A = this chain, B = another copy of it.
Amino acid sequence: MLDVARHAGVSAQTVSRALGRPELVAEDTRRKVQQAVEALGYIPNEAARNLASNRSRTVAVVIPTLASSAYSAQVEQIVEVLEAEGISVVIGNSEYSMAREENLVRSLMERRPLGFILTGIQHSAAAGELLRNSGLPIVETWDLDGPALDAAVGFSNVAVGCDVGRLFLASAKKHIAFVGGADAQDPRASGRYEGLAQAITAAGFPRPLRIELQLPMTAQDGIAGLDLVLEKAPLTEAIMFSADSIALGALLECNRRGIRVPEQLCICGVGDYEFAPLVMPSLTTVRIFPGQMGRQAAELLLARINGDRSGPTSITIRHQLVRRGSA
């Protein structure tokens, strides 16, 4: 920066201002500085900037994985919103592990980010404390079924499960099962199961069987889930899967085995993945809107970063039962 200052015949401070707050610098000076910057190929040092101003231009985002289109769509929108503000996004993949999430939070804190966007409202005690004590704006996503650390953008997984339960009931199904991520890894799945169970038991039918799978889940795991259901509860008439990925595996396996869907067995997923309308029969599912969730999470975080705590502390992203052929 000193080189640029000399080249432009001004002080270093003026260069700093010309770059950071151009409105405080005379038009003429600014141009000279700009020319010097280009002539010398000067690139400001973000670390020095952060250290001096005690402020980074980074937001930390922690998600389970980018391999699932729901999370990547969410991150895509987060990046888009924040990039426009000159804020960059540092990604951490927790791989569905709270321990890994805790490590990520700890190491991301070293960057002194402007804020955090997290997945879910379930964190290790240490991570929660770390986040709370930081005093940073924090937006949690994907789960509105409990208290947020600071603010949350998402939906109620319980409500999602409820909707599916009611759909099954409307088709006069009463032997219901649920296949999804294990409770310890996937609290969102647990919420969906709870909602399903509430709807079913409220109608006077027995609490659905729950099969817990290890994450990440592929279509193959869906078949395993189907097998377990049929083994433990052969009378099952309808299965809710916690994600379309595993619902898909089960659906195709039913076709192979000659189990008629939805006559013999109803199948419903969550997510409305790209393939859901394409399979035969087409997959009934619950549509969620991860991109919107990402966008709103980023915008809410931005507001809070800018000191605006007047906004809502919780934003609901709608979900939508999409009834197709499989249930």
Contact = CB atoms under 8 A, between A and B. Distances in A.
Interface of A: 41, 43-51, 56, 58, 65-67, 69, 72-73, 75-76, 79-80, 83, 86, 88-93, 104, 106-112, 133, 248, 252, 273-275, 278-280, 291
Contact of A274 (B65, B73, B133, B274): B274
A81 B166 CA distance: 44
A83 B106 CA distance: 13
B50 A47 contact: yes
26 contacts: A43-B106, A43-B109, A45-B110, A46-B112, A47-B112, A48-B51, A65-B76, A67-B76, A69-B69, A69-B72, A72-B72, A72-B75, A76-B93, A80-B93, A83-B92, A88-B91, A88-B107, A89-B91, A90-B90, A91-B91, A252-B278, A273-B274, A274-B275, A275-B278, A278-B278, A278-B279
Given A66-B76, A93-B83, A51 B41 contact: no
Contact of A66 (B45, B58, B72, B280): B72
Nearest to A279: B278
